[in-house]
């Protein structure tokens, strides 16, 4: 173990150190992977009922400690209290869901050519899966990766973001109480720990930035191991003239600015078909009405961004938008409170080619773009390198069904916010947003197992 340490600090009170852990060097990562591999052999070959019982016990433990986990999440990553409680509840649901998936059929049979043999395809775990996860969902993302990996018989080593090591350590402690020794572990650190993990495991699942995700995918592919990378979005909400204006404005405002816009599914572009002014005014009013401040307060929707660097990135994006000719309907400035606060910022007057309309900022800032008609709205929506999620607001079901087929994102929503994920449905994007199979739901088995085709013939054949 390295003598260096990594610490997380509260974004609303940067003077508060939440957790300090030693940095895992390559030898520490290797030991964690070896321990997980040893434990996974018995875990995979044992009864699936044992895996179901263990994950159910983990869900029970998390439910019993829900308030403590939520409070830690508020302190460490600045997640508003309501969202933090919801994330813990989602974590409980994820564990219960995948506890039952451990009992799903693990293969299929096929007609044998000779009529007497048994021809089947059966799924087997990879061995040890490495998870590299971000700070913004410090419980849900590790669990929606770890729960299926464990349910299907793998060992797991988690490398969380340095900004969320406290939450990861608590998850590690919780799972230690219900899983075989060494089967799941957490290693702290930065790029070196992540690289060591990718170099050691049998499969890797990553969530984070495009640049790092590509590096992870290249390294994993070079080792011929399965890789899955979720890498963000530049998500659009299309508002058609017949939309319920006030309902759409409230939905878009929350999706763009909730949790200070720090979600890969946050709305970054609002594309308004026809005369944009009535909806733009309603949206600006909705953004101004959002609770901003201490994430521990029950009425807060927009808390701090995670670091001072993150705040500077948002402010730099706002300044670049101003240079590009944008006008500010709301925000554009740093917050007054101690901590990494930025005012929710809504920009109009930009071209779809402006940087703010093309690149992810990961903060409470969005731009409103007018479109003459639906065709131009689709062109603007599709005209970025990302393809995670798009929302359409309209009362016209026929038009909604048409647009679902024309928008090139992995997830599409009608009269619903871009933000929000259903853990029992496939999650993932197109283009630069994703590499590899979808996450979550029944799709998770495709990544965390491999298929072996088996032929068993009678001895006399």
Q: How many residues does the chain have?
A: 461
pTM attached to this predicted model: 0.96
Domain coordinates of the chain in residue numbers? 5-231+433-456, 235-414
- Indicate whether 303 pLDDT > 90: yes
Distance CA 270, CA 255 (A): 11
Q: What is the pLDDT of residue 429?
A: 97
HSE toward the beta carbon, residue 251, CA cutoff 13 A: 25
Q: Report the relative pairing of strands 107-110 and 118-125 from DSSP bridges.
A: antiparallel
Cβ-contact 95, 69 below 8 angstroms: no
Average pLDDT for 60-65:
98
Report how many helices (DSSP H) and strands (DSSP E) the chain contains, helices first: 15, 20
Which of helix, strand or coil describes residue 94? helix
Closest to 237 in 3D by CA, of 83, 403, 426, 429: 403
Q: What is the pLDDT of residue 1?
A: 57
User: Tell me: the pLDDT tens digits for 184-233?
Assistant: 999 999 999 999 999 999 999 999 999 999 999 999 999 999 999 999 89
Distance CA 370, CA 399 (A): 19
Q: What is the pLDDT of residue 337?
A: 82
- pLDDT confidence bin for 348, thresholds 50/70/90: very high
Q: What is the pLDDT of residue 200?
A: 98
- pLDDT confidence bin for 461, thresholds 50/70/90: low
Q: How far apart are the first and last CA of the chain?
A: 57
Instruction: Please report the DSSP string for 50-80 in residue order.
Output: HHHHHHHHHHHHHHHTHHHHHHHHHHHH---
Average pLDDT, the chain: 97
Average pLDDT for 75-89:
98
User: Tell me: the pLDDT tens digits for 369-422?
Assistant: 999 999 999 999 999 999 999 999 999 999 999 999 999 999 999 999 999 989
Q: What is the pLDDT of residue 2?
A: 63
Reading the block at residue 176, the tokens are 């230690």
Give me the CATH code for the 5-231+433-456 domain, please.
3.40.605.10
CATH number of this structure's domain 235-414, picked from the four choices 1.10.3720.10, 3.40.309.10, 3.10.105.10, 3.90.180.10 = 3.40.309.10
Residue 7 neighbours by CB under 8 Å, 6+ apart: 17, 18, 19, 20, 21, 162, 165
Question: Which backbone phi and psi does 230 adopt, to 5 degrees?
Answer: -110, 125
Which sequence positions are flagged as catalytic? 230, 264
Q: What is the pLDDT of residue 3?
A: 74
């Amino acid at each position: 173990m390295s003598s260096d340490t990594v610490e997380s600090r509260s974004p609303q009170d940067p003077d508060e150190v939440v957790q300090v852990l030693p940095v895992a060097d390559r030898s520490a990562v290797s030991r964690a992977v070896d321990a997980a591999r040893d434990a996974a052999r018995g875990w995979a070959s044992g009864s699936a009922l044992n895996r179901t019982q263990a994950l159910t016990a983990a869900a029970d433990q998390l439910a019993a400690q829900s308030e403590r986990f939520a409070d830690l999440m508020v302190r460490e990553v600045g997640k508003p209290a309501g969202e933090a409680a919801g994330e813990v509840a989602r974590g409980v649901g994820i564990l219960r869901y995948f506890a039952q998936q451990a009992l799903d059929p693990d293969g299929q049979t096929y007609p044998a050519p000779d009529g007497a043999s048994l021809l089947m395809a059966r799924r087997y775990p990879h061995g040890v899966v490495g998870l590299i996860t971000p700070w913004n969902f410090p419980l849900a993302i590790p669990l929606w990766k770890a729960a299926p990996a464990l349910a299907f018989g793998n060992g797991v080593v988690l490398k969380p973001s340095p900004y969320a090591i406290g939450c990861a350590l608590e998850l590690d402690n919780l799972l230690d109480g219900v899983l075989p020794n060494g089967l799941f572990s957490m290693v702290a650190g930065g790029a070196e720990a992540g690289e060591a993990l990718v170099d050691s495991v049998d499969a890797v699942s990553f969530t984070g930035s495009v640049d790092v995700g590509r590096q992870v995918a290249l390294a994993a592919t070079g080792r011929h191991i399965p890789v899955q990378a979720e890498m963000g979005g530049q998500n659009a909400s299309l508002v058609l003239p017949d939309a319920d204006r006030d309902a759409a404005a409230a939905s878009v405002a929350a999706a763009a600015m909730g949790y200070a816009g720090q979600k890969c599914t946050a709305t970054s572009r609002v594309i308004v078909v026809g005369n944009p002014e009535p909806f733009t005014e309603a949206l600006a009013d909705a953004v101004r009405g959002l609770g901003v401040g201490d994430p521990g307060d029950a009425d807060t929707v927009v808390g701090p961004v995670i670091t001072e660097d993150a705040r500077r990135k948002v402010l730099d994006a706002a300044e670049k938008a101003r240079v590009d000719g944008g006008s500010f309907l709301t925000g554009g400035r740093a917050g007054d409170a101690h901590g990494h606060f930025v005012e929710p910022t809504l920009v109009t007057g930009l071209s779809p080619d402006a940087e703010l309309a093309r690149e992810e900022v990961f903060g409470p800032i969005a731009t409103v773009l007018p479109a003459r008609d639906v065709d131009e709205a689709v062109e603007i929506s599709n005209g970025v390198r990302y393809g995670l999620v798009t929302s359409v607001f309209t009362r016209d079901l026929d038009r909604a069904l048409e647009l679902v087929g024309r928008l090139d994102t992995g997830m599409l929503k009608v009269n619903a916010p871009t933000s929000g994920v259903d853990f029992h449905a496939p999650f993932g994007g197109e283009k630069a947003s994703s590499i590899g199979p979808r996450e979550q739901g029944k799709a998770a088995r495709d990544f965390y197992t491999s298929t072996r085709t088996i032929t068993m013939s009678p001895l006399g054949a």
